[in-house]
Amino acid sequence: MANIKTLGQISDFELKLLRVFRTVAACGGFAAAEVALGISRAAISMQMADLEKRLQVKLCQRGRAGFALTDEGKRVLEASDRLFGAVEYFRAELNDLHRHLRGTLIIGITDNLVSHPGMKITHGLAALKAKGPEVHIDLRMQPSDDIEMGVLDGRLNVGVIPQVRELPGLHYSPLYEESNWLYCADSHPLFNAQNINTEGHEVVQPRFQQAAEAAALYAGHTTGAHANDREGILFLVLTGCYLGYLPEHYAAPWVAAGRLRPLQPGFTTRFCVITARSRRSNLVVDTFLATL
């Protein structure tokens, strides 16, 4: 009778490889996961091969037909949902040992949202602390892709991001909208112009993902520079060399100070709260979501 090799104790390294696998599955392939994980496709391939070797199963098929999980891969993905969900359940159980609210809320938020007049996150966190003074809040400012992956693998309880795409492992709840305008600085030739014509003027292009409406607007401009967040866009616009799309609430103090001029309306960004579909009930997280 042939010897069947079974998996022994699961180490932190296996958990790391499982997180890579979950990201690949959520993104639908190695190419999309390359951006989400911040590592090369070759590195992803090596880690996936290592995981397959350790589990003794083929997890996915790659080829001209595209990416697809094997039947074994689907079962491993479902089992990993239960595994990471169990960790979250353990945290929730510890919280529920006490009648009063206590524990940690780990929340990831994208940059420059605090000035939004309808900033529900600030009010939600205040309400959470009022209900549970012993609750510890761990707030992390991160790019949207990092927040998505953090919520998927359990490093974050909740995320607040622009709704650009929908990954199958996440639940998206609409939060509020943000109006973006095209701006120039006081040293830009268009600042005092009576007739606004942006043709030929360079625009700062964001490196972060954009919704279709925003991407279409950017495609109609001449790209002069790139920035990986909205503060970077503002920095470059203030040089007077470029135009840039900025949230209306974020640019308002600079407009009031006479440093920026809104040239024309741009696009609307829709923000949402994300949680993992596989998450277990957690008193701290559930209370925070209820306040929103």
Q: What is the mean pLDDT of residues 76-80?
A: 90
pLDDT in tens, 27-44: 988 888 888 888 898 999
Rounded to whole angstroms, the Cα distance separating 128 from 105 reads: 10
- CATH superfamily to which 86-171+273-291 belongs: Periplasmic binding protein-like II (3.40.190.10)
Q: Matching CATH topology for 86-171+273-291 and 177-271?
A: yes
Q: Is residue 96 pLDDT above 70, yes or no? A: no
CATH match of 12-83 with 1.10.10.10: yes
What confidence tier does 168 reach under pLDDT thresholds 50, 70, 90?
A: confident
Q: What is the mean pLDDT of residues 169-175?
A: 92
pLDDT in tens, 109-123: 987 777 776 678 888
Q: What is the CATH number of domain 177-271?
A: 3.40.190.10
Per cent of the chain over pLDDT 70 is 93
What confidence tier does 98 reach under pLDDT thresholds 50, 70, 90?
A: low
Pull the structure tokens for residue 3: 């010897």
Residue 279 pLDDT: 85
Residue 1 pLDDT: 37
Rounded to whole angstroms, the Cα distance separating 76 from 7 reads: 13
Q: What is the mean pLDDT of residues 231-241?
A: 96
More confident residue, 93 or 151: 151
Residue 114 pLDDT: 73
Q: Is residue 97 pLDDT above 60, yes or no? A: no
Report domain extents, the chain: 12-83, 86-171+273-291, 177-271
Using a cut of 0.75, tell me whether the model's pTM lies above it: no
Give the chain as a 3 state SS string.
Answer: CCCCCCCCCCCHHHHHHHHHHHHHHHHCCHHHHHHHHCCCHHHHHHHHHHHHHHHCCCCEECCCCCCEECHHHHHHHHHHHHHHHHHHHHHHHHHHCCCCCEEEEEEEECCCCCCCCCCHHHHHHHHHHHHCCEEEEEEEECCHHHHHHHHHHCCCCEEEEECCCCCCCEEEEEEEEEEEEEEEECCCCCCCCCCCCCCCCEEEEECCCCCHHHHHHHHCCEEEEEECCHHHHHHHHCCCCCEEEEEHHHHHHHHHCCCEEEEEEEEEEEEEEEEECCCCCCHHHHHHHHHC
pLDDT in tens, 192-234: 999 999 999 999 999 988 888 999 999 999 999 999 888 999 9
